[in-house]
Structure 1
Amino acid sequence: MTLHGVPTGTEFVRRQNTGLVLRSLRSRGPATRTELARRTGLAKATVGTIVSELEAARAVTEDDSVPSGRGRPGRPVKLTGESIIGLGLEVNVDYVAAVALDLAGKVRVLETRPVLTPGTPLSTQELIAMATEVRATLMRDGHTVVGATVAVPGLVAHDNRTVSWAPNLEWDRRQLAAELEAAFGDDCPTTIDNDANCAALAESAHGVTTDVSHSLYITGTIGIGAGIVQDGQLLRGGAGFAGEVGHMPIGDPQRVCGCGRLGCWEASVGLRAMLHAVGVDEESTPLQTAVAVADRATRDPITRAALAALGRDVGKGLATLAAVLDPAAIVLGGYFVPLGAYIVPAAGQVLAERLPSASIHLPQIRLSSLGIHAAALGAAEDALADVYSGALAL
């Protein structure tokens, strides 16, 4: 039974057990029912019931090429879930992005659109248009979108539905989840999260930090934020605002930040600060802009010198963060990736010089492997989280 939508009693236990089986298949790969029982600690009969239900929901399949029976191994159960989709969206100053991820972790949709009017605050209608079009296409193709998560460059309230403050978007207490749910026809639960948090999750599941338990992700767009992952979980802080590192007062004290304050780190190392340093105009997305700057740097020593100076400013911030958080690895995303050859060496040198514990442990600086879709991919993972936890029945 359920009470006000919350499962109770045996229904709650059943969902928890189902989530346990799904997580085992996702993290450890296919297994027979007997192996799943051993992995999860559940009774084999319980696992059998769960597998049958998941087969009916098209979430798993059993390999029919391996016969089962007396004296033969059981058939491996494989997580498929092609029809079960989490929709991840990202809204930023100069683009919107969408990623559709199925239950087995396969990307089904990958799309980015530049904003219609660069240099002006983004309209939520541009995000809504992309989101509703992508979802409608998925549903026409026979997929079920179980939820959506939106990554935003700003502070998100504890309800995971309200954008508390996003200065670069000029949003303040925006009820973004409710706006999207209304556009979806109120049949697609939607949540909001910080873009750096989402990108950090994506890197830990799909990218360059799958091998470490503690990592720090730094966005590289107009804004600079951080996502902190410990043992697969995000560290959010007391109000959920952990990671707003772009506004640490360690930048040029004469530079005005998008938040209106002077001396924020973001004002010295964000995308527009980089463009000002090298004298290049912004293109349609941060990635395209950075590629153009990287091409220029191959020919122009002045551009290379400006990027090295920016790298040193990046390193100052990383040393501060590493001294507090002690990450095993630091990931630079966004515009930093195409410019890594010019920025990372300088940043790494400053990190080694300024981090007190560098002689004992020096975090590796890694470049994101997920491109501009990192935050949207992590948002899609988040949209599937209730399925894997058992909170959402298939």
Structure 2
Amino acid sequence: MREADGPVRVTAAADQAAVRGAHLGLVLRHLRDHGPRTRARLAAELGLSKATATSLVVELEQRGLVRRGAPARGSVGRPGATVELDGPRVCGIGAEINVDHVATSAVDLAGAVVVEDRRGLDSRRLGPDGVLDELTGMLRHVLDEVAAQDTIPAGITVGVAGLVDTTHDVITVAPNLGWRELPAAARLRDRLGVDAPTIRLDNEATLAAVAEADSADPERRDMLVIYGEVGVGGGIVSDGRPLRGRHGWAAEFGHILVDPQGRPCGCGRRGCWETVIGLHALLDAATDPDDRLRDPSLTLEERLEGIVSRAGLGDTRTLTALETVGTGIGAGAATLVNVLDPEVLVLSGYFAPLEPFLRESVEKRLDADVVAPRLGGTHVAFSTLGPVAAVRGGAAVSLAPVLTDPTLVPRRAGAETGGSR
């Protein structure tokens, strides 16, 4: 999400260290959003003096966050060197706890994936301790890989399929997992030890929405994200910022009631939207109970590969199931589009790899049920991240403090202090 551009204005009594950190963050975010820039161009675009811009760039170089890039193209006279993000110095770590898998990802400042892993498991059977033990082992592997590359982990953000108290980092209720009032962050800290980075919890669909947002793309500033897994959640992005609601529980789309006489939902009610379009609804419609695609040890990607393969071969049962799910997505999404009027509707999670088999039925139902004409209005996009959106969003959230205040990253050993605060 892009923070407001322009020089930071504060009162005379403000802490100068905080001012310096804020200006450093301004430069760093501008490079992230707009790409390499000369120092002169940075100064002009941010309303800073050339001397201030140079001083800020020097300090960011000392902290290993930016580096000299290629000469500026199209410049008159001697081309000036550009400044660009230096990704490997710091990374954010994301993780996900879901009904049938746990996953991890480390992404550096420039957006490069350092390491990523996903493991299929039956979270309800294992219970909280078993799942947290599994995730702890995966996080230790990530931290070892990051350390081997001399990269500093800025933090760990764990997305959970459920309602999360982000103030206290507690899972309030996760219906599909069967967990309540679980201090998962504290338990992970106990397992990883005192040297572990800061650990926070968030809703996994909210993190997916963060990953789908693009601060440089105006279309992604007013956006509705529907994230499909076993459960269904999502995110509402308005003017570039996620809407979380009073308690941080907004966008629990999966529990919109669509059929009072429908299938039982993990929340205890019947006929919630996720019972119609969630992964288990698709598998129940497309496969028999003993089908290999229902094996809980399979990753989500492996299950979806099987669905795509069968659909591609023209299997009637699979294609019918996909059409039913697509129609269900469109019906529920139409209600949300009518209420929120987003620029774009992004279908993420397990929906994304199934785009060739879902798009037509989704759009057909939207065209029928959206009141306003869709021509020139909301359009449908399928995520390019798909099942990894939540962990990528967690990594982005973990990196956010560095983009706000780069002084959180220490200077490299032996770096000059000229131009610093």
Q: TM-score scaled to structure 1, two decimals? A: 0.90
Structure 1 residues 122-161: aligned runs within 5 Å: 123-159=131-167, 161=169
Tell me the SS of whatever aligns to 1:219: strand
**2-structure distance, mates of 1:26, 1:64:** 16
Q: Give the one of 179, 183, 189 matched to 1:175.
A: 183
Change (3 A) 1:119 1:345: farther
Structure 2 counterpart of 1:332, from 347, 351, 356:
347
CA distance in 1, matches of 2:234, 2:306: 25
Paired residue secondary structure (2:114): strand
Q: How far, CA to CA, are the matches of 1:143 and 1:375 in structure 2? A: 22
Aligned to 1:4: none
Shift of 1:260: 1.1
Secondary structure at the residue paired with 2:116? strand
Query: Secondary structure of the equivalent of 2:408?
Result: coil
Residues 1:375 and 2:384 aligned together? no
Matched, 1:309 2:318: no
In the aligned structure 2, how far is the partner of 1:309 from the partner of 1:65?
54
Alignment partner of 1:254 out of 262, 267, 277? 262
Task: Show the counterpart of 2:418.
Answer: none
Residues 238-271 of structure 1: per-residue CA shift (max 9 Å, x gap): 2111110100011462310011111111111111
TM-superposed deviation, 1:74: 3.5
The whole-number CA distance in structure 2 between the counterparts of 1:23 and 1:393 is 15
Q: Judge which range, 350-359 or 56-65, deviates more.
A: 56-65
Q: What is the root-mean-square deviation of aligned Cα atoms in Å?
A: 2.4
Q: Distance in 2 between matches of 1:135 and 1:184?
A: 10
After TM superposition, the structure 1 = structure 2 runs for residues 138-287 of structure 1, keeping only pairs within 5 Å, are 138-159=146-167, 161-187=169-195, 188-205=197-214, 211-251=219-259, 253-280=261-288, 281=291, 282-283=294-295, 284-287=298-301
Aligned equivalents of 1:273 and 1:324: distance in 2? Answer: 26
In the aligned structure 2, how far is the partner of 1:322 from the partner of 1:251? 19
Matches within 5 A, 1:41-80: 41-63=47-69, 72-80=78-86
CA contact under 8 A between 2:99 and 2:123: conserved in structure 1?
no
| Residue 105 (structure 1) aligned with residue 111 (structure 2) | yes
Q: Please list the CA deviations of residues 82-136 of structure 1 after superposition, one character each: whole Å capped at 9, or x if unmatched.
A: 1211111111111111111111222111221222778554621111111122112
What residue identity is the alignment partner of 1:255? R
Equivalenced residues, count: 383
Question: How many angstroms does 1:359 deviate by?
Answer: 5.2
User: Deviation digits for residues 277-305 of structure 1, max 9, x if unmatched?
Assistant: 12244241233222212322333223322
Please report the TM-score for the alignment, with normalisation by the length of structure 2. Answer: 0.84
Alpha-carbon distance in 1 for matches of 2:40, 2:66: 16
Q: Give the letter aligned to residue 201 of structure 1.
A: V
Which segments of structure 1 move beyond 6 Å, counting only runs of 4 or more?
none
The residue number in structure 2 matching 1:36 is: 42
Residue in 1 that maps onto 2:7: none
Would the aligned equivalents of 1:30 and 1:76 in 2 still touch at CA under 8 Å?
Answer: yes
Q: For residues 29 and 160 of structure 1, do their structure 2 counterparts lie closer, same or farther at Cα, with a shift above 3 Å needed?
A: farther
Pairwise CA distance, 1:158: 4.0
Task: Quote the offset at 1:173 in angstroms.
Answer: 1.8
Percent identity, aligned pairs only, is: 38
Aligned-partner Cα distance in 2 for 1:180–1:117: 16
- Judge conservation of contact 2:118–2:299 (CA < 8 Å) in 1: no
2:97 is matched with which residue? 91
SS of 1:52's equivalent?
Answer: helix
More deviation, 232-241/110-119: 110-119
Which residue of the other structure, out of 304, 308, 311, is the alignment partner of 1:294?
A: 308
Question: What per-residue deviation string (whole Å, max 9, x for no partner) do you get for residues 343-393 of structure 1?
Answer: 221121111111111356552222211132111011101101011112762
| SS of corresponding position for 2:367 | helix
* CA–CA separation in structure 2 for the residues paired with 1:307 and 1:50: 53
Match of 1:321 in 2: 336
Q: Which amino acid aligns with 1:381?
A: A
Whichever residue aligns with residue 133 of structure 1, its letter is H
CA contact (8 A) 2:237 2:243 kept: yes
Q: Distance in 2 between matches of 1:236 and 1:120?
A: 30
Q: In structure 2, the residue corresponding to 1:225 is in which secondary structure?
A: strand
Amino acid of the structure 1 residue aligned with 2:366: L
Q: Which amino acid aligns with 1:94?
A: D
- Larger deviation: 243-252 or 362-371? 362-371
Counterpart amino acid of 1:34? A
Structure 2, gaps ≥5 residues long: 1-13, 410-421
